[in-house]
Chain A
Amino acid sequence: DAGITQSPRYKITETGRQVTLMCHQTWSHSYMFWYRQDLGHGLRLIYYSAAADITDKGEVPDGYVVSRSKTENFPLTLESATRSQTSVYFCASSEGFEAFFGQGTRLTVV
């Protein structure tokens, strides 16, 4: 189906573990983004990518790693998960200033 999909929808992991959140879009949009959403903070940009093999930091990049070897995929990796990374993570894509969001991944770090 066309659109943007995230997996998994829910994830529980332990402190110190590495975890990867997946994002796949079928529109061939150039731009892709990762946001986290926390109460009181709204959506904050973690990383973004303007094209395959081009990534850059957003507002809150510490503890996260991204890659974009293919236009359609933009995985987000938490190298060593911490409790402060418990959040809802949203991936988005755009071909301009209008972004389209996935359904989110609710990550709990215990």
Chain B
Amino acid sequence: TQLLEQSPQFLSIQEGENLTVYCNSSSVFSSLQWYRQEPGEGPVLLVTVVTGGEVKKLKRLTFQFGDARKDSSLHITAAQPGDTGLYLCAGDWGDYKLSFGAGTTVTVRA
């Protein structure tokens, strides 16, 4: 089983603050995805990163893939209550079977 570690497990911040979530593995990914999940729903894909060093932006969300393709981060600028949710990273090692991190529960207080 490929291990994918996500940190922190929980994050509670005030509206307007910034936050960063990390995803690390000892293995090299073929690709890495970030998902967001709301209570009672399935995960929804936010972004896929494939190339080492890649940076992708989605409005106030910035996703970075490590140069060695073993780690990734998700940074949210000026968080809003609507950003509250469970953020999951998932790695693919070339066989389309995703392995997920345990998730980071983000709470943004108004």
Using a CB–CB distance below 8 Å, which chain A residues touch chain B? 31, 33, 35, 40-45, 48, 50, 58-59, 90, 92, 94, 96-104
What residues of A have a CB within 8 angstroms of the CB of B21 in the complex?
none
Tell me whether chain B's interface is mostly helix, strand or loop, or mixed.
strand
Closest chain B residue to A96 by CB distance? B96
Closest chain B residue to A30 by CB distance? B96
B48 within 8 A of A: yes
Q: 29 A-B Cβ contacts within 8 A?
A: A33-B98, A42-B6, A42-B88, A42-B100, A42-B101, A42-B102, A42-B103, A43-B98, A43-B100, A44-B100, A45-B97, A45-B98, A45-B99, A50-B96, A90-B42, A90-B43, A97-B30, A97-B31, A97-B96, A97-B98, A98-B33, A98-B48, A99-B98, A101-B35, A102-B42, A103-B42, A104-B40, A104-B41, A104-B42
Q: List 6 additional A-B contacts (Cβ < 8 Å) besides A43-B100, A97-B33, A98-B48.
A: A42-B102, A96-B96, A97-B96, A97-B98, A101-B35, A103-B42
Complex contact B92–A97 (CB within 8 A): yes
B45 within 8 A of A: yes
A96 and B33 alpha carbons, distance in the complex (Å) = 12
Using a CB–CB distance below 8 Å, which chain B residues touch chain A? 1, 6, 30-31, 33, 35, 40-45, 48, 88, 90, 92, 96-103
